[in-house]
Amino acid sequence: MKKIVLIGDGIVAKKFFETVLEKYFSNNLYTVISKDSSFVPEKIPSTFNFQIFDPTSAYKLLNIVNNEISDVFIIMEDPKEREIVYEIIKNKHKDIRIVLTAYEDEITLPSILEDERSVVIEEAKTIAGRLLARLPNVPLIPQGFGLEQGEVMEIGVPFGSVFTYRHIGSIEQKNYKIVGIYRHGEFILSNYSIVIQPTDVLLVAGDPKVLENVYRQIKSDIGQFPAPFGKDIYVYVDTLLQSKKSVMRDIQQALFIHKNTKSARLNICVLNPSNFELLKEIKALDELDVNVMLEYNGMSFVQKLQEDAEKKIGLVVIGKEIFSSRFHRKALFELSTPVFKSSSRSLENLRDSVVVLNDEMNEGENISSIIFDISIQMGLGVLLYDFDPDKHYQIEVARDYQNLSRIFDKKIKITRTNSKNPILFLKESKNPLLQFLPFEHCITRTRFFWFASTKVEKISFMLDNNPQIFIPITE
């Protein structure tokens, strides 16, 4: 994740900051600098840091802008102040990329226009372009294009990307297409033989949700979980609902995941704290990257979850005692964040993760990259379990996973059987398996008659001998 500084004042800057805060909070680490204290929201995600001071102060500004900063955005109404801030940064850090807004006649420093590391967004030209796009019989330039939902996207290919030095024809493009490549200021129409080079910009079109997944693959964001959901892990325990052994089980497993992923912080939320000996043991875990929160206000799990959701949770960790409640499952489903359900078996003995395939997983590409991300970070093999009594196996779904396995250089194992039900396979596994399940709406419903169901998700989520991660999907 890159470290970005946003400097601004006025309505344009405020709208820009609000959009970044709402939609792109997990993409980078942001520091926001403004003179206006109203820029600071009530709920601040862990990826944001707000500083209130006059950015024309070189001493204060250079304490924030250092060699770790990759990009600076300057959105200021006063042209003189804007150029002062630009000069302060460029005099000290010539290689930092600066993006600033301006009207064309406001730019008095030739160095801004001559600087290859600076980008000037001319507000008048941008507005004119938007108006021009509404004229009849005029070609539409892809800026605010189409449905404006991300069905067309430009994606830069960084050095080290899993897409570099690959022929376009070798990349399976399901529900999207690589239309062309921008290279050295020229546009090259896509064909099977073109080899993708570092610094290329790919023009892709397709399903917006699929393109988000493609973006993560191209940008080599594998190994960043719990991003893009958030940066932090939250584990919830209830000392009234759970025994001391169950509480410590959930906390220890949350600590294991925290240490074996790119989690920035583990937040331990203790509901209904009552056992002082247990609380002392939990408080001893409080460190720089482990935060212990004791909830003495009688707040319920659902209320606490909704309060924490404002901070953008990356992963929720809970035990079967909390997950067994239908109301709790419904609240977790609405959160649209991955959920880890603990197991009585130690995570240190994990060797493999498992995905049970079914005929409804043709849209499963939405969760497959997350499965690979977690498995790679935790050093686990990936097992696909394909069961069908009539031998109508999920060949297409398995092919999608095989394609990703080549992209991420992660081998997978496929077990196909028409005899051994996956529920029996999971119950009889000698070693613990980390099971991935799509968090579908059916899981939030009552469990009455579920044992008569043929849907794997409805039955296997009730098993407690293996840890499980429920990945949110769009149904």
Per-residue confidence (pLDDT) for residue 459, from 0 to 100: 63
Per the CB < 8 A criterion, the answer to whether 378 and 260 are in contact is: yes
Q: Where are the beta strands (DSSP E) in 211-343?
A: 232-238, 265-271, 290-295, 313-318, 339-341
Asked if residue 457 has pLDDT above 80, the reply is: no
Query: CATH 3.40.50.720 in the chain, residues?
Result: 3-131
Round to whole Å and give the CA distance between 326 and 173: 38
Instruction: Give CATH for domain 347-472.
Output: 3.40.50
DSSP letter string over 397-438?
HHHHHHHHHHHTT--EEEEEESSS-HHHHHHH-SS-EEEEEE
The dihedral built from the CA positions of residue 317, 319, 325 and 326, taken in this order, carries a sign that is positive
Report the candidate in 342, 345, 300, 291 with the shortest Cα–Cα distance to residue 318: 342
Residues 365-399 as b/e (b if ≥16 CB within 10 A, e otherwise) read bbbbbbbbbbbbbbebebbbbbbeeeeebbeebbe
Query: CATH 3.30.70.1450 in the chain, residues?
Result: 152-218
Query: CATH 3.40.50.620 in the chain, residues?
Result: 232-341
Report the candidate in 184, 180, 214, 212 with the shortest Cα–Cα distance to residue 198: 184
Asked if residue 166 has pLDDT above 70, the reply is: yes
DSSP state of 179: E
pLDDT in tens, 107-155: 667 778 788 888 888 877 777 777 766 676 444 445 555 555 668 888 8
Q: What proportions of the chain, in percent to the nearest 5, are helix, strand and coil?
A: 35, 25, 40
Specify whether domain 152-218 bears CATH 3.30.70.1450. Answer: yes
CATH superfamily, with its number, for domain 232-341: HUPs (3.40.50.620)
Structure tokens at 15: 């709208």
Fold of 3-131: Rossmann fold (3.40.50)
pLDDT in tens, 239-264: 999 999 999 999 999 999 999 999 99
Contacts of 308 (CB under 8 A, 6+ apart): 234, 267, 269
pLDDT in tens, 57-87: 999 999 999 999 999 999 999 989 999 999 9
Round to whole Å and give the CA distance between 309 and 290: 18
Which of 39-43, 140-144, 185-189 has the lowest average pLDDT?
A: 140-144
